[in-house]
Amino acid sequence: MVELVPSILSADFARLAEEIAAAEQGGGTVIHCDVMDGHFVPNITIGPPVVASLRKTTKLPLDCHLMIENPDNFIPAFADAGADWVSVHYEACRHLHRSLELIAHHGMQPAVVLNPATRVDLIRDILPMVHHVLIMSVNPGFGGQKFIQFSLDKIRALARMRQELGLAFRIEVDGGVAHDTVARVVQAGADLLVAGSAVFAAGNAEENARMLLAAAREAAGEGPVPAAGTGAREGSRA
Ligand code: DX5
Ligand code: ZN
């Protein structure tokens, strides 16, 4: 089942609660929080205090993408803030296994992120530990960048590896996921679709989310999105 994961990076930070509510109404089921430290990436965004505030505004899982150096130092603070999923960059972790264990130890779902230039076979041995792998399809740091095409090969390679190893981790994609790229991303094997500017940069966030999710589900061969409030549920035995 594909899921839309709106990234608040492109939302209006003065109206985050409303923006999240709109994206949720449009079918977003996980909220992506981009945490940047000005060192690992050339930008600064939010940290645990903002995540703690978001926790009070939505029941959706908060997916915290840590683009920071020394992520281990901040994992307890994200747990206290109410984060549900925490992903750390392969390139930022000297002891990735330890970082993933630390996340799980704090009761959150651990995930690893790969920059565009990092090969997927490097994480083969730790795949049994992760809830998901995040494939960056842009260089991290900014919203609104162009989708890097060879990310599709990486998604396909990871999906093959998942099958070979008999694992069930999910494959998330982040960067340039929009109306013109989403079908190829889904067909390559991704099922968690992060989208920032495609949802929040222009127009109506609810409508943008709905259209993007509909395109994703169509590409996945899944049925149309049930209208909000119809009571239709996944897996119900009609
Ligand atoms: C970029 C962030 C993304 C960003 C994606 O470093 O990790 O989550 O919000 O933005 P779009 O969807 O605009 O490419
Ligand atoms: Zn992100």
* CA–CA gap between residue 142 and residue 9 (Å, rounded): 8
Residues around ion ligand 2, judged by CB within 5 A, are 34, 65, 174
- Work out which ligand 1 atom sits closest to the CA atom of 32: 8
> What is the second-level CATH architecture of the domain 3-220?
Alpha-Beta Barrel (3.20)
Supply the pTM of this predicted model: 0.94
Q: Is the CB of 9 under 6 A from ligand 1?
A: yes
pLDDT of residue 224: 73
The neighbour count for residue 207, using CB atoms within 10 Å, is: 13
E strands within the chain?
A: 3-6, 31-36, 62-67, 85-89, 109-114, 132-136, 170-174, 192-195
Ligand 1 center from residue 44 Cα (angstroms): 13
Q: Strands across the sheet with 62-67, in order?
A: 3-6, 192-195, 170-174, 132-136, 109-114, 85-89, 62-67, 31-36
Q: Where are the domains of the chain?
A: 3-220
User: Which ligand is closest in space to the CA of residue 151?
Assistant: 1
Residue 38 gets the label, from left (phi > 0), alpha (psi -120 to 50) or beta, of left
Ligand 1 center from residue 195 Cα (angstroms): 7
Nearest to 155 by CA among 126, 125, 114, 127: 114
- pLDDT tens per residue across span 96-149: 999 999 999 999 999 999 999 999 999 999 999 999 999 999 999 999 999 999
- Work out which ligand 1 atom sits closest to the CA atom of 36: 6
* CA–CA gap between residue 6 and residue 20 (Å, rounded): 8
Tell me which DSSP letter residue 26 carries: T
Ligand 2 center from residue 229 Cα (angstroms): 29
Angle at 33 between CA 172 and CA 2, to 5 degrees: 30
Q: With the C-alpha atoms ordered 169, 173, 174, 179, is the resulting torsion angle positive or negative?
A: negative
Q: Is the CB of 140 under 6 A from ligand 1?
A: yes
The answer to whether residue 238 scores a pLDDT higher than 60 is no
The two tokens of residue 153 are 């090969």
- pLDDT tens per residue across span 169-194: 999 999 999 999 999 999 999 999 99
Q: pLDDT-derived band of residue 230, with 50, 70 and 90 as boundaries? A: very low
Average pLDDT over residues 217-224: 90
Start-to-end Cα distance in the chain:
18
